[in-house]
Homo-oligomer: A and B are copies of this chain.
Amino acid sequence: MTINTAPFPTRALPLRLNALLLGTALGFAANQAGAVPVTWDEIQHDQHNTDSVLGYGIGPKAQRYSPMTAINRESVRKLVPAWSFSFGDEKQRGQESQALVHDGVIYVTASYSRLFAIDARTGKQLWSYTHRLPADIRPCCDVVNRGAAIFGDNIYFGTLDASIVALNKDTGKVAWKKKFEDHSAGYTMTGAPTIIKDQNSGRVMLIHGSSGDEFGVVGKLYARDTETGEEIWMRPFVEGHMGRLHGKDSTPTGDPRAPSWPDDADSATGKVEAWSHGGGAPWQSASFDVASNTLIVGAGNPAPWNTWKRTSAGGDPQDYDSLYTSGQVALDPSTGEVKWFYQHTPNDAWDFSGNNELVLFEYDDNGNTIKATGHADRNGFFYVVNRENGDFIRGFPFVDNITWASHIDAASGRPVEVAGQRPPKPKPGEERGEAVEVSPPFLGGKNWNPMAYSQDTGLFYVPANHWKEDYWTEEVNYSKGNAYLGQGFRIKRMFDDHVGILRAIDPKTGKIAWEHKEKLPLWAGVLATKGGLVFTGTGDGYLKAFDSNSGEELWRFQTGSGIVSSPITWEMDGEQYIGIASGYGGAVPLWGGDMAVLTKPVPQGGSFWAFKLADFQ
């Protein structure tokens, strides 16, 4: 059995030895699961600590890459379930969580704001927490949760009523709860929070955003004290809105006059209505560049979707970029100030959003090491951006038949739009505008489900989809708690033989090394390993393993419900495990049009699965 030696020393073993020695004095049994606190050092080196998974993305760079090799191209055929765990409660719907593993305990969030602690060896529940949800929560896209963060003695996760909860990781008891916004206005939280350490102050912080752009929230990113939950800073992602630091106004985001949003002399704010409800919610997880002490996170779509509500009367949408939405934002963790911003979709008329994960990676360019972010946007383009200054390096399509833009201009980094792809305003006297066919549709060339980057192959493994939509505008005015879109849609099939397409892409060239087609949409995250494998889940319930070089499907197992979660891997007792949640749901069956029909036969579910190599013979 070969387990790759981690290049960084793991702290888990010495700490566990400490626990063994000090167990009695510290008041817990030495063999009590989960009694070892989690350190920043372990989180920072998460990608290399094979015995734990401590953050969403598996390490601050969010590469979803593991150095483990025991499960490899040869041995994967022997991969079998070790155990399964049912979330129970007669609650199912989408299970989009990525689990964490620490000291023999699996922490997995589940639909309806639940969190389970499970003995990683047996699948036995250690404790569970079910958040009491009010009846008037407004999750746009199913009652999902994508994962937790862990640090010290606590585990943290966001809830559908716009709260964040810290639980003692060993007992499940509530350490603190903070309600950060008004859920009845559409604020929710579905993304996994992130633990970072501000390299200036040495302070460990909890970073999280919110969801709610479809209800006209103002998207904000928060930094909190891990022990008390007190806010350290807050940064809004609509230009001209005021940030907060230590409870006081800090700086506005960008230009206080917000020239990227139209003025309106008749408005009390001096700006159009949309500016007050402008979206940009960072509902996915932030990545963290430790070396440069920089948070990098995707900002959501502008609200409303209707481009004309964010354009001056008779003006050109290209003159109003709706900053800081639908782009990637770099922030200083000490203050929450914006370091740089790169916008994928200026004045986003298509709900492309900019939320998709930012994967931090490095590559060689004629002897120079380029520190970049990799980002596969819902708009269908893959972006490589210099993460030290936000400069555009290159962008290329990762899905076929993009209709809204011909390419990304190399000099400006702005998309070159195709005329007529912004859904036009309704003609006078009509309720809805003429429908235009757009690809990708708002569900994206790729949605939230994260890609992986392999340090061995230098390829990104992108869980993409081929589909399109009819898109039209409708009149809309802001009304608290109601959908704030101004646009209607119907998702349609693009190809007869597939919707989902897993693509291995070279970020230096944009070349597609291989692809694998799936009949149903891909809505699960991806994991790459040094064992030469790429794992992901399918809408029809399979966990699959592919050869990272060739794309050959080497192994699969049917988990009973569709998979829309992110796989993990860890080492325990000398064996490598793969873990994933199963349970179909999310945006596709709710909003997917033809795709909702296509996926209707997929039964709901709610379970976590652990796999390992069969050890008989």
| A interface with B by C-beta (< 8 Å) | 77-78, 80-81, 83-93, 122-125, 540-541, 557-561, 582-584, 601, 603-605, 607-608, 614, 616-617
Contacts and interface: CB of A to CB of B under 8 A. Distances in A.
Which of A81, A93, A560 has the most B CB atoms < 10 Å from its CB?
A560
11 contacts: A78-B614, A78-B617, A80-B81, A85-B603, A86-B603, A86-B604, A88-B92, A88-B561, A88-B584, A122-B558, A123-B560
Nearest to A77: B616
A81 B81 contact: yes
B87 A90 contact: no
Given A89-B92, A90-B93, A90-B604, A83 B557 contact: yes
Contacts of A560: 83-86, 123, 607-608
Nearest to A88: B603
A81 B611 CA distance: 11
A616 B86 contact: no
B87 A603 contact: yes
A461 to B, nearest CB: 25
A86 B605 contact: yes
A368 to B, nearest CB: 46
A84 B66 CA distance: 27
Nearest to A111: B90
Nearest to A613: B616
| Residue picked from A86, A122, A561, A607, most chain B C-beta under 10 Å | A86
A83 B558 contact: yes
Query: Interface centre among A90, A561, A583, A584, by most B CB within 10 Å?
Result: A90
A561 B81 contact: no
Given A78-B617, A88-B603, A88-B604, 18 more contacts: A83-B558, A84-B558, A84-B559, A86-B541, A86-B559, A86-B582, A86-B583, A86-B603, A87-B603, A88-B561, A88-B605, A89-B92, A89-B604, A90-B91, A123-B558, A123-B560, A605-B607, A607-B607
A141 to B, nearest CB: 17
A604 B130 CA distance: 14
A119 to B, nearest CB: 10
Given A123-B541, A614-B80, A616-B77, A89 B603 contact: yes
Contacts of A88: 92, 561, 584, 603-605
A23 B77 CA distance: 36
A604 to B, nearest CB: 4
A561 B604 contact: no
Q: Nearest 6 CB-CB pairs, A to B?
A: A88-B603, A86-B605, A83-B558, A86-B560, A84-B560, A86-B561
A580 to B, nearest CB: 13
A608 B90 CA distance: 16
Contacts of A90: 90-93, 604
A83 B540 CA distance: 12
Nearest to A112: B90
Nearest to A604: B88
Nearest to A605: B86
A235 B314 CA distance: 83
A302 to B, nearest CB: 34
A444 B78 CA distance: 43
Most buried by B among A77, A88, A124, A557: A88
Contacts of A84: 84, 558-560
A226 to B, nearest CB: 29
Nearest to A601: B125
Contacts of A123: 541, 558, 560
A43 B308 CA distance: 69
